[in-house]
Amino acid sequence: MSVEAVLLAPVFLLFLLLLVGGGRLVEAQGEVNGAARDAARAASVTRDLGSANAAAAQAARAALPDCRGGAGVSLAGTDWRQGGSVRAEVTCEVDLSSVAGFGFAPATRLTGSSVVPLEQFRRVQ
């Protein structure tokens, strides 16, 4: 019985470490997706595209304070007209050094995107 436990304990421990690393990666992707949603929403309530870029960048950086080099925000693909839509894409280099010893890279670049409609009856410039 003790021989089986000695042989299976490292395998079980590696499996648990893999679960912890995978969980951290899924959590980080969720944070980036949430930041993209926040950026698109912040951009959609502004009146012009210049203000929308600034608002989206501010919202993404507030949602992702731990990004290496800050969060990158792009509003490419935005249809800036009444009834159009705002498409925000947020890119973040996430620090995974807490799970790097478990076979994961110390940092990885994650991207999230979100689309939010512009109001039909609100004037945009």
Q: 72: domain range? A: 2-117
Per-residue pLDDT tens digits for 22-55: 888 899 999 999 999 999 999 999 989 999 999 9
User: What's the 3-state SS for the chain?
Assistant: CHHHHHHHHHHHHHHHHHHHHHHHHHHHHHHHHHHHHHHHHHHHCCCCHHHHHHHHHHHHHHHCCCCCCCCEEECCCCECCCCCEEEEEEEEEEECHHHHHHCCCCEEEEEEEEEEECCCCCCCC
The confidence score (pLDDT) of residue 54 equals 96
Report the pLDDT averaged over residues 71-84: 91
Residue 123 lies in a domain: no
Q: Taking the model in full, what pTM does it have?
A: 0.85
The confidence score (pLDDT) of residue 50 equals 92
Residue 124 lies in a domain: no
Residue 125 lies in a domain: no
How many structural domains does the chain have?
A: 1
Q: What percent of the chain has pLDDT over 90?
A: 50
Q: Inform me whether the pLDDT recorded for 1 exceeds 70.
A: no
The pair phi, psi for residue 90, each rounded to 5°, is: -110, 130
